[in-house]
């Protein structure tokens, strides 16, 4: 913009980590409005002359029920009867949203994407990611969840791994659990997220090797012998596995409190996802 070009306003914000500024809060509400609230069935009056903006039975009825159960944790009989009232459903959500803490905003956006009508979900998530990047937020939608991953390349790598690993159910579950533990904005569990990331690789290699009891090191050696894994990559990932096993007691829950950071957990998730993508592609090419 003009003001940025002449230096009056900054061209790039600091990363919004555990915070949300007014620009981003307003933008996310506008996206919720464009993709969901404006698509409420807009009959102002029913065919019998009464009001037609009842939430119950509308296209957003199940979304409101889910929000009351999973988000507000209030009895569903307290859901406003109408959508457009000054005390109706839309105004209730709006009043809460603009007073909410940063993580509550993200929780609401994520739950609307999860439980709202599905026809616009894909485009909504893509548009959210575009604006999250533009506003330099440290979060992106990955596999339907908002996760602390700031690079588009990181997002693509993790999503690709989750998709590619679908035939390997155990590995996919570990990968999704790693994502879940990392994305918890109030109480992230970096230690166990790292453990799940490496366990996803271990589960994949065991399945490909056909030995459910093999440790990762043995499975990597077997893949190397099959020509699926380059020796240099096998060595590199063995070293990474050693880090996850030994540093800070990742695999020993009884040890003292971890000093791991989100950067550690994010690095391991992205690295393991990239490795999973590489191994799966190599197996396909070896067939």
What integer pLDDT is reported at residue 14 of this predicted model? Answer: 55
pLDDT value at 36 more than 90: yes
pLDDT value at 278 more than 70: yes
Which residue did the predictor score with more confidence, 279 or 226?
Answer: 279
Condensed to tens digits (0 to 9), the pLDDT of residues 245-269 reads 555 544 433 234 457 778 888 888 9
Enumerate domains of the chain plus CATH numbers: 14-138 (no CATH), 152-286 (1.20.120)
Average pLDDT rounded to a whole number, residues 230-244: 74
What mean pLDDT is reported for the chain? 83
pTM across the whole model? 0.69
Q: Kindly report which listed range (47-51, 168-172, 185-189, 222-226) carries the lowest average pLDDT score.
A: 47-51
CA dihedral 188, 194, 196, 202 (to 10 degrees): 170
pLDDT value at 92 more than 70: yes
């Amino acid at each position: 913009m003009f003001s940025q070009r002449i230096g009056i306003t900054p061209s790039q914000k600091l990363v919004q980590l555990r915070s949300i500024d007014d620009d981003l809060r307003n933008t996310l509400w506008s996206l919720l409005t464009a993709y969901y609230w404006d698509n409420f069935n807009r009959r102002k009056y029913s065919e019998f002359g009464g009001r037609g903006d009842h939430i119950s039975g509308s296209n957003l009825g199940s979304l409101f029920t889910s929000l009351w159960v999973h988000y507000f944790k209030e009895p569903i009989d307290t859901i406003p009867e109408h959508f457009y009232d000054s005390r109706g459903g839309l105004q209730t959500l709006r009043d809460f949203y603009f007073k909410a803490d940063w993580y509550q905003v993200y929780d609401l956006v994520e739950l609307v994407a999860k439980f709202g009508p599905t026809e616009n979900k894909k485009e909504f998530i893509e548009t959210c990611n575009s604006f999250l990047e533009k506003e330099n937020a440290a979060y992106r939608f990955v596999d339907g969840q908002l996760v602390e991953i700031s690079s588009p390349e990181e997002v693509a790598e993790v999503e690709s791994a989750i998709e590619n690993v679908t035939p390997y159910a155990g590995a996919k579950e570990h990968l999704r659990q790693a994502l879940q533990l990392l994305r918890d904005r109030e109480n992230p569990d970096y230690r166990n997220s790292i453990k799940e990331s490496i366990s996803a690789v271990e589960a994949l290699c065991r399945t490909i090797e056909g030995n459910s009891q093999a440790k990762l090191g043995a499975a990597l050696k077997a893949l190397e012998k099959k020509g699926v894994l380059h020796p240099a990559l096998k060595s590199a990932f063995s070293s990474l596995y050693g880090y996850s096993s030994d540093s800070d007691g990742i695999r020993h829950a009884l040890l003292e409190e971890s000093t791991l950071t989100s950067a550690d957990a994010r690095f391991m998730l992205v690295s393991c996802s990239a490795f999973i993508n590489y191994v799966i592609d190599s197996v396909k090419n070896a067939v």
